[in-house]
A = this chain, B = another copy of it.
Amino acid sequence: MESVGRHLIMELWDCNENLDSVEAVRQALVEATAACGATLLELFVHPFTPQGITGVAVISESHILIHTWPELGYAAVDAFTCGKKVRPEEVVPVLERYFRPGHVQVMEMKRGVFNARTRVPAGAVVR
């Protein structure tokens, strides 16, 4: 079995810093991209009224995304990377440094799982 990429789904709770800082979200995305060994293609950060930020780093190896809810002390982060050289788990310490969460949950999902020999998706109906 092979897969096209690894998708880390992260839930950050009890965040004590920077959830409403556009500059911090931007810097966290830049540093997270570098930390996991990815290549940044595009960076977009949008502040909401009255609060909350969405930041997306489009990388050559897929994406890193941060959505923040300061009113809940919560951030949802996704890091989806393809290729064997990129290490999406390196995003986690960067997030911890920027947002100081009291509690982090990380789940990992393989995306695009297929049979390496037949190149048929795992679970495909054989017709």
Decide if A78 touches B78 in the complex (CB within 8 Å): yes
Given A46-B41, A58-B46, A114-B72, also A121-B13 (CB < 8 A): yes
Decide if B46 touches A56 in the complex (CB within 8 Å): no
Residue in B5, B13, B44, B74 whose CB lies within 8 Å of A58: B44
CB distance from A123 to the nearest CB of B (A): 8
Copies in the complex: 2
The 7 A-B pairs of least Cβ separation, nearest first, read A13-B121, A76-B111, A74-B112, A42-B44, A4-B69, A62-B67, A41-B46
Interface of A toward B, CB cutoff 8 Å: 4-5, 7, 9, 11, 13-14, 41-42, 44, 46, 48, 54, 56, 58, 60, 62-63, 65, 67, 69, 72, 74, 76, 78, 80, 82, 103, 105, 109, 111-112, 114, 119, 121, 123-125
